[in-house]
Amino acid sequence: MKITTWRAAAAAACAAVLALAGCGANGNGANDANKAGVTGGMLTILTSATEMDLDPAKSQGLPITSNGNIFRRLTAWKITEGGETKVVPDLATTTGEPSDDGRTWTYTLKDGVKFEDGTPITSKDIKYGLERSFADSLTGGLSYHKTLLEGAQDYHGPFDGEELDSIETPDDKTIVFHLNAPFGDWPWVASLAGFTPVPQGKGPASGYGKKPVSSGPYRIESNEAGKQTVLVRNENWDKKTDSVRTAGPDKIVFKMSQDSSVAAQSIMQGTGEGRNAFSASTVPAAQLAQAQANPSYKKLLTTSSSGALSYLAINTEHVKNLKIRQAIEYAIDKKAYQTASGGTIAGDIASTLITPGIAGHVDYNLYEADPTGDVDKAKQLIKESGEAAPTLKLIATSDQAELASSIQTSLKRAGITVNIQTLNSDVYSDASTNDKGDYDLVISGWQPDFPSPYANISPLFDSTQIGNGNYNQARYNNPKVDALIKKATETINQTEAGKIWAETDKTIMADAPVVPLLYSKNTFIHGSNVTDFIIGQFPAYPDYTQVKLASKN
């Protein structure tokens, strides 16, 4: 199955911020800031965003972050006491009932689910909301369903009166999806923004994101670009129908255009709104060092556990000799890379492709060596290759300069010369994903859209994802791996699928197309009166739907 739409924005962002703490890391269920919240008060979220377009058809937002309190979908993410992120029913009574070997998925809506005006949410509202995401005027949203649903490639939205026949609504409580192939991860896809219900006939092609209709515990009171977005309680949300969201604060205010350094400083000092606020950005390096050195500030930090992958991609179309690629695996000083990234708080040293917190992850290391590398082994492999030690071109962003330097120094020890080309982030993103592949090495990172090996492995190693703006930056093409990816994707039993994904991971690493470097971590800061600040095993961001205040004042 060819899937060509992935989190491009996140991948590009990862490349730009790896020097600080990585982009996307998994969390620890213990990072919950005491879990002693009350109901009431006003929570402030400080964000660097200059506006909030909340149109679900255009959103790549995680179900647990900014729009998680406004919108509900068929399924949702729930963090367990042990920190595992699971897919659970939300508007639907189950996570989906498969039939036809996983090509058909059926959902039944719960009783009593309503929009903010009290109107019942029906299956037709979910169908219409999903159909909106196909409109040519509404771009940028996550698009897994656009390649999975039958007939979707020729569909362009509902605004001309057309419907997508592969989404059936036999009655107001039932919705049926017909896929073009079996797909075991459909319950995760049904949790994404495109599955937000939109009242039929509403949600025009433009402007809906300013004040969309709420189906969650909060509705939008105001939304001023550059200033703030204010959420207040949705009186027609019924907690009895929602096992996920706690709806603690009476009001949630997103303060926009906030400098992340200033925001962190305000929170540490507890001045003004800082006591009842948290920052949506990871803590900048300077403030992170300051907070770690001060016990009063340090307790306001929450750091995710190991998770999302930082890696060095080796262009297999250029570096064709397996022995040379294996030599690179051994020559890299991962400890030096970790130090350049900010130390142990930036992440743990990696050896696998499927990251911790995702089903199918198995600890192993095909290129076992000291964290500083095995230079002698690398030199031996170069000798066995029958080639001279190569000269390689490494592309990186300016923010990755120190990281690139650590790679250059590592490989020099084995006689491999690395020439670094520094690019701005936009040029870097294009250069690393276009059809030319004019590089030998590239530093990158990957945060999947949902905690599945499919979203972790397929975009980086499926041969259909080479070039054309996709993220197989190693230009890796192995028919055996393509077949394993297809087999795992179409396996509905997730335990069995996990075994196939683990085999896929090891099969890829035997070809050495990338060097896993770190399972990255993110660190966030919250005010002294903020509690229930939870980061699960996936993703590396706080769950906005759980956050409360310790007291109303």
Q: What is the largest CA-CA distance in the chain?
A: 73
Q: How far apart are CA 328 and CA 318, in angstroms?
A: 14
Give the pLDDT of residue 498. Answer: 94
Record the tokens describing residue 31, joined without a space: 């990072």
Give the pLDDT of residue 105. Answer: 98
SS3 517: strand
CATH level 2 (architecture), domain 53-215: 3-Layer(aba) Sandwich (3.40)
Same fold, 53-215 and 309-520: no
N-term to C-term CA, the chain: 53
Q: Average pLDDT by consecutive 10-residue portion of the chain (553 residues)?
A: 36 33 34 69 96 93 94 96 92 98 97 98 98 92 92 93 97 98 96 96 85 97 96 98 97 96 95 92 91 95 88 98 98 96 92 91 96 98 98 94 96 98 91 94 93 93 93 97 96 93 97 97 96 92 96 87
Instruction: Name the class of domain 309-520.
Output: alpha beta
Q: How far apart are CA 61 and CA 275, in angstroms?
A: 26
Q: How far apart are CA 72 and CA 77, in angstroms?
A: 11
Give the pLDDT of residue 333. Answer: 98
Give the pLDDT of residue 35. Answer: 61
Is the distance from CB of 550 to CB of 43 less than 8 angstroms? no
Give the pLDDT of residue 306. Answer: 77
Name the residue ranges covered by the structural domains of the chain: 53-215, 309-520
Beta partners for residue 336, in sequence order: none
Record the tokens describing residue 528, joined without a space: 């002294």
Record the tokens describing residue 6, joined without a space: 């992935």
Give the pLDDT of residue 19. Answer: 28
Q: How far apart are CA 85 and CA 211, in angstroms?
A: 29
Amino acid at position 59, single letter:
S
Query: In the chain, helix, strand, coil percent, each to 5?
Result: 30, 20, 50
Give the pLDDT of residue 9. Answer: 33
Give the pLDDT of residue 6. Answer: 36
